[in-house]
């Protein structure tokens, strides 16, 4: 059993949820915030059998697009200097795949 943690841009989350549930993949979504942009994103928790991980990743790749955001991060990230707005490429998705020692529904 594996746990996939996928951090996804808000704009992609509805289509990703639809595609995962259509493929009978259980998912829990948490509202989250990126530390750099301080913008809302969505963290998906997906518990799945190991042999389905690749197909879940394919769905995530298909539904999550990269976008360019213009931002000025907080001054502490720029060594205290004044930060001018600049572009960063965000996404498609940031994905972690973890081993699950034990899975129970009680
Ligand atoms: P944020 O932390 O808001 O980061 C948004 C985007 O800003 C990142 O896109 C990256 O392009 C850029 N960025 C982040 N930190 C930076 C830095 N110190 N200097 C310059 N540019 C920086 P992504 O890499 O696609 O990340 C999208 C979101 O995924 C992140 O939002 C964060 O919520 C999450 N994330 C990314 N890497 C992570 C990690 N190693 N651990 C936990 N969460 C992560």
As a whole number of angstroms, the distance between CA 72 and CA 103 comes to: 42
Q: Is 90 in the pocket of ligand 1 (CB under 6 A)?
A: yes
Q: Is the model more confident about 37 or about 100?
A: 100
Ligand 1 centroid to 67 CA: how many Å?
12
What does the block give as tokens for 57?
A: 């990743």
Q: Is 88 in the pocket of ligand 1 (CB under 6 A)?
A: yes
**Domains in the chain, CATH or no CATH each:** 2-99 (3.30.70.120)
When pLDDT is averaged across residues 1-22 and rounded to a whole number, the result is 97
Q: Pick the atom of ligand 1 nearest to 88's CA.
A: 11
Q: Pick the atom of ligand 1 nearest to 77's CA.
A: 18
pLDDT digits (tens, 9 = 90+) for 29-87: 999 999 988 889 999 999 999 999 999 999 999 999 999 988 765 555 556 566 678 89
Ligand 1 centroid to 104 CA: how many Å?
32
19-to-53, 57, 71 alpha-carbon distances in Å: 15, 12, 30
Q: Pick the atom of ligand 1 nearest to 37's CA.
A: 3
């Amino acid at each position: 059993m594996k746990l996939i943690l996928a951090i996804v841009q808000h704009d992609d989350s509805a289509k990703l949820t639809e595609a995962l549930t259509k493929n009978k993949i259980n998912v829990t979504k948490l509202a989250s915030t990126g530390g750099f942009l301080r913008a809302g994103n969505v963290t998906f928790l997906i518990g799945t059998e190991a042999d389905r991980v690749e197909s879940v990743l394919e769905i995530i790749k298909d539904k999550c697009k990269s976008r360019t955001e213009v931002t000025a991060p907080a001054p502490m990230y720029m060594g205290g200097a004044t930060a001018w707005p600049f572009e960063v490429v965000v996404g498609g998705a940031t994905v972690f795949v973890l081993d699950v020692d034990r899975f129970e529904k009680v």
